């Protein structure tokens, strides 16, 4: 940003070096002056001590569950600061430094809150506060051994055993001024039971926590298709030692309309299978193998949907915006000399689709249905001198500009006091009230500017965030006033040479 100069040193007292002595009256005046200066120095010292010891100047950084905020507080101990912030400390929480520690300004306090956790397993309910960050650590803490086949529900969502070591995510918002507590965790363990499945000539012995026979078969990767018979039914609830018998029809696969149908059939031909699954062929559709082909186990039937269409596409041709000076318009005035008109590029295309995918796309014709017409904007170049009333009297200005006005001082410029450029502006001036930071592409250096409510200043500095219609009015460190407002400011005196004037000002930042 910008910078500010240090207050100028006091001028040395004047005197007559040629005088041989000092009169009694002069000695008396000097004595009184010395006493007055002593009292002023004492008052400044007391004021400085008072300000420096104010409890409101204590700055402490709180980091709660990984989210940090800097606060000001009159409290002196860790526990008092946390209570003031509305943060209760429980025995399971981790606080650093210790709660009774006295905190100095600039110190960091870290609080990691324990989360509430509920574990339901083997008919028992465990409720506790804990610092562990993974489901696996929580189960270990309550003494639960999880088998690979057991079902684990975390906050109502099913997770695999491999996920028990992953850290749970915690919501946090860097845009909030509130510390979010660690989220509670609810864990339920459903124990697996043994089942025996006979699938034709194959036998499966599995441990499962599925709720139904159908779910068990799905989890075991054993698909059930139309025509298959399952005993007991798919909706039956598994019990320990249950035997499930599957009698299979002929398995095959149908690919149609972007879907894959795994089914079983008692039909003889491809046409029988399509009829069973209610798959119809239309117009140019075709099937591989042919409809008359004999069905065999594990075959794949591919149905291709075919369609053609002719379309006319239109694409906009953007128009250009051109600027032209207008001596009849006053500075910063604009008018539309000619409206712009986009052009139109048209194309006629023939497209062939198979299963919704484009297989061929043929351009039959392309033409310009409409030519673009550029937009012409005229900007004013006539400069008129006017008067603005100020507390110091009427001032002549040649341009009035609507800008965002902020303020700064050397201390807020982003440079430390030991920086060699601290208190030095872009032009090398020592910072003081009356220096204004500008974007030199908009307002030339050296321009005198009148800012209502601030007074007259001179453009003599820049800033990293000072771009476009944005200026930063400077202050001495002792009298900084914070500004943030949109207002009209006035460029005083005579205008610069015409080749140095930016006739069209940027429209950013924008006033809301």
8-state DSSP, 424: B
Q: 19 falls in which pLDDT band (50, 70, 90)?
A: very low
At 103 the three-state DSSP class reads coil
Whole-angstrom CA distances from 56 to 52, 86, 288 are 10, 18, 83
Q: Which residue has the higher pLDDT, 470 or 21?
A: 470
pLDDT tens-digit map of 440-478: 999 999 999 999 999 999 999 999 999 999 999 999 999
Q: Tell me which DSSP letter residue 391 carries.
A: T
Of 82, 263, 65, which Cα lies nearest the Cα of 73? 82
505 vs 86: CA distance, rounded Å = 50
What dotted CATH number matches 193-248? 3.10.20.90
pLDDT given for residue 137 in this prediction: 85
Domain 385-500 sits in which CATH superfamily?
Answer: RlpA-like domain (2.40.40.10)
Output the pLDDT for position 132: 85
Percent of the chain topping pLDDT 70 = 84
Instruction: Give the residue extent of every domain in the chain.
Output: 25-51, 58-112, 115-169+177-190, 193-248, 253-300, 308-379, 385-500
Buried-exposed string 16-28: b where 16+ CB fall within 10 A, e elsewhere: eeeeeeeeeeeee
The closest of 65, 63, 61 to 180, measured between CA atoms, is: 65
- SS3 for 29? helix
Give the pair of three-digit tokens for residue 39.
């009292």
What's phi and psi for 141, nearest 5 deg? -65, -35
pLDDT, residue 16, reads 39
The pTM assigned to this predicted structure is 0.42
Give the chain's mean pLDDT.
85
CATH numeric code, 115-169+177-190:
3.10.20.30
Q: Do domains 308-379 and 385-500 have the same CATH topology?
A: no
Cα torsion angle, 427, 428, 433, 437, sign: positive
For position 37, what pLDDT does the model report?
Answer: 60
Q: Are 427 and 461 in contact (CB under 8 A)?
A: yes
Q: Which of 120-134, 172-186, 206-220 has the lowest mean pLDDT?
A: 172-186
Q: What is the C-alpha separation between 354 and 9, in angstroms, rounded? A: 87
pLDDT tens digits for range 346-395: 999 999 999 888 999 999 999 999 999 999 999 999 999 999 999 999 99
Distance separating alpha carbons of residues 444 and 437, to the nearest angstrom: 11
**482 close to 411: Cβ distance less than 8 angstroms:** no
pLDDT at 15 over 60: no
Q: What is the mean pLDDT of residues 58-85?
A: 90
Residues facing residue 376 across a β-bridge: 322, 338
The residue count of the chain comes to: 512
* pLDDT tens-digit map of 225-260: 777 788 999 999 898 889 999 888 888 999 998 899
The domain over range 308-379 is classified in CATH as 2.20.230.10? yes
Overall fold of domain 58-112: Ubiquitin-like (UB roll) (3.10.20)
Cα–Cα distance for residue pair 10/171, rounded to 1 Å: 57
Give the tokens for residue 364.
């039959």
Say if residue 107's pLDDT is above 60.
yes
């Amino acid at each position: 940003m910008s910078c500010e100069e240090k207050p100028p040193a006091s001028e040395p007292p004047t005197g007559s070096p040629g005088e041989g002595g000092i009169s009694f009256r002069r000695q008396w005046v000097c004595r009184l002056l010395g006493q007055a200066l002593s009292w002023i120095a004492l008052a400044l010292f007391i004021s400085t001590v008072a300000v420096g010891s104010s409890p409101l100047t204590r700055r402490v950084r709180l980091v709660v569950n990984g989210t940090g905020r800097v606060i000001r507080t009159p409290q002196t101990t860790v526990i008092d600061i946390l209570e003031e912030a509305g943060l209760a400390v429980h025995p399971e929480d981790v606080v650093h430094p210790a709660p009774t520690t006295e905190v100095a300004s600039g110190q960091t306090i870290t609080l990691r809150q324990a989360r509430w956790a509920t574990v339901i397993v083997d008919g028992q309910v465990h409720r506790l506060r804990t610092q562990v960050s993974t489901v696996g650590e929580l189960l270990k803490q309550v003494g639960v051994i999880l088998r690979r086949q057991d079902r684990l529900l975390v906050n109502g969502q099913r997770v695999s055993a491999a996920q028990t070591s992953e850290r749970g995510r915690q919501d946090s918002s860097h845009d909030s001024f509130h510390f979010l507590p660690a989220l509670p965790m609810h864990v339920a363990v459903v124990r697996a039971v043994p089942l025996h499945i006979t699938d034709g000539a194959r036998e499966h012995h599995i441990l499962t926590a599925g709720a139904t026979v159908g779910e068990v078969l799905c989890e075991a990767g054993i698909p059930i298709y139309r025509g298959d018979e399952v005993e007991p039914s798919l909706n039956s609830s598994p019990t320990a030692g249950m035997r499930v018998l599957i009698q299979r029809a002929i398995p095959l696969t149908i690919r149609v309309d972007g879907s894959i149908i795994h089914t079983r059939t008692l039909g003889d031909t491809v046409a029988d299978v399509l009829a069973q699954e209610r798959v119809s062929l239309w117009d140019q559709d075709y099937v591989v193998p042919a409809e008359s082909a004999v069905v065999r186990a594990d075959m794949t039937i591919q149905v291709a949907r075919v369609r053609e269409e002719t379309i006319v596409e239109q694409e906009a041709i953007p128009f250009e915006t051109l600027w032209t000076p207008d001596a009849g318009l006053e500075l910063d005035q604009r008018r539309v000399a000619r409206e712009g008109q986009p052009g139109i590029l048209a194309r006629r295309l023939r497209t062939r689709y198979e299963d919704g995918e484009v297989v061929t796309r043929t351009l039959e014709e392309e033409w310009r249905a409409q030519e673009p017409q550029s937009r012409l904007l005229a900007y004013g170049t006539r400069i008129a001198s006017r008067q603005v009333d100020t507390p110091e009297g009427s001032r002549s200005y040649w341009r009035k500009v609507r800008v965002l006005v902020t303020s700064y001082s050397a201390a807020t410029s982003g440079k430390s006091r030991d920086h060699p450029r601290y208190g030095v502006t872009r032009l090398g001036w020592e910072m003081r009230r009356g220096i204004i930071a500008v974007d030199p592409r908009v307002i030339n250096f050296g321009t005198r500017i009148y800012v209502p409510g601030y007074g007259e200043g001179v453009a003599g500095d820049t800033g990293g965030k000072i771009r476009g219609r944005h200026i930063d009015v400077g202050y001495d460190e002792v009298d900084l006033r914070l500004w943030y407002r949109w207002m009209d400011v006035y460029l005083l005196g005579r205008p610069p040479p015409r080749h140095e004037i930016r006739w069209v000002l940027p429209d950013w930042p924008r006033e809301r």
